[in-house]
Amino acid sequence: MFWPDYRLPALALAALLAAPAGAQQLYKFVGPDGRVQYSDRPPAGAQKVEKITGSRVSTVTSPSASSGGAGKAPQTAAEQEQAFRQRRAEAEEKAKKEEKLAQETKAKENYCAGLRRELTSLQSGQRIVRTDDKGERVFLEDAQIQQEIARVQRDIAADCR
């Protein structure tokens, strides 16, 4: 009798799942070539192995994968809670740092924009007025204006790159 190609693998899988309990252990893993493979024995060098028994699927980690300890998940609920609180505190601290940096950047942009406006005003050729200590208006002379222009240009060069 002729069986179509797509029915044979389905029949083989059904036979594996219907086998007696002792023979139902099946391991699913990704081989070194990146392909998913099935075996009745767990592979030696695989990082993550799924043990398939009947309708249950469980993940089995090889000893080489957990020996580093760096990626080890907390075991108890208290450890999980502590790890969660630590991650949340680190995220809040990072957000505060980013907010502070954004505020500093905005303040510097405003300062530089003010310096550029002042330079444009000084270079416009109009009369420049300042208020002295007594509250009186004083017009700057050309030499004073040139000094102010040089000062503002130095500030822009130093602070506004």
pLDDT at 80: 87
Render pLDDT for 79-95 as a digit per residue (tens, 0 to 9). Answer: 888 889 999 999 999 99
Render pLDDT for 15-62 as a digit per residue (tens, 0 to 9). Answer: 666 655 455 577 788 877 778 888 777 777 666 778 776 655 556 555
Dist. CA 124–CA 136, nearest whole Å: 23
Helix (H, G, I), strand (E, B) or coil at 105: helix
* Backbone phi, psi, residue 153, to 5°: -65, -40
Dist. CA 117–CA 156, nearest whole Å: 11
Tokens of 12: 């083989």
Cβ neighbour number for residue 26 with a 10 Å cutoff: 19
pTM tops 0.85, yes or no: no
**Contact present, 75 and 82 (Cβ < 8 Å):** no
pLDDT at 66: 46
pLDDT at 65: 45
Render pLDDT for 132-158 as a digit per residue (tens, 0 to 9). Answer: 899 999 988 889 899 999 999 999 999
